[in-house]
Amino acid sequence: MGAPTEELGEKVVILYDGGKGTTVHLAEALVPESSALKRVVCEFPWKDQKREERAPTELIQFKDKTGVTQVSLIVLRREISWTTCAYVVHELFEYILANSPIQSPAFSLVVPMISRAPGSVLTEDANTNNNVKIYAASVNSVLSETIGHLPKLPPTFTLRDSFLAYLSHYVHAMGLPTLMLLGPRNQGVVSDNESNEVLHALGNVVAQQVGLTYTKHNLKDVANLVSLTDGVENDWRRLYI
């Protein structure tokens, strides 16, 4: 991986949506709660096995006044083909293991995602009415009190994105404390470029976990925000769900 040497924070968030232009926009909407943290952006390319440049990736660091990184966002802005998923995930975790304070009790990896979720897979909660539900799965750790009320992601749920599936496998294999958050596509979706309730709900939960603030209005300035409703209809994989 042709990445700069950067120490990662105790909270590391991986933002990837398979090139659909949804989850990665959290990188623009997650901001410091106060001037105590400074946002620093580093761009670096992935390298494939032939050392050729691949999908551009950003490393967004939130540093305190002493220069110590508190929160790190790893933003993969293009789809990773299934033929290179294993290699890229391996490189990604080598980078995280080498540059993160993984021995710290406060360390955690956060993986937010928006995925097609058949209703038969996710349990319904009558108390949520029509509100968007974010599902949570805690790997090698326990859910914090702040999100303990979220419905649990059932073990029967299958990640259909190859990159996220490999990532989930590595998380379990490496024993890293990880919080996986799922915003289903098939409910609570507003097909409007400026109002995507699933994305907003997901952003609020992520911000709460890593000590940042989610600013919904920041998404208005992001070009080509993809409607999740359109994404479901145009996704050929829906034929196999």
pLDDT top residue among 217 and 119: 217
| Average pLDDT estimate for 21-49 | 83
User: Lowest-confidence range among 2-6, 50-54, 115-119, 218-222?
Assistant: 50-54
Model pLDDT, residue 237: 46
Give the pTM: 0.83
pLDDT grade, residue 114 (50/70/90)? confident
Model pLDDT, residue 119: 53
Say whether pLDDT at 34 is over 50: yes
Say whether pLDDT at 33 is over 50: yes
> Are the C-beta atoms of 100 and 93 separated by less than 8 Å?
no
Say whether pLDDT at 193 is over 90: no
| Average pLDDT estimate for 6-23 | 88
- In the structure, how many helices (H) and strands (E) does the chain have? 5, 9
- Which of the given ranges, 140-144, 147-151, 176-180, 216-220, has the highest pLDDT on average? 176-180
Cα–chain center distance at 219: 16
> Residue 208 and residue 240: Cα distance in Å, rounded?
34
Say whether pLDDT at 139 is over 60: yes
Q: Could you give the domains of the chain?
A: 11-240 (3.40.50.12120)
What is the three-class DSSP state of 11? strand
What length does the chain have? 241
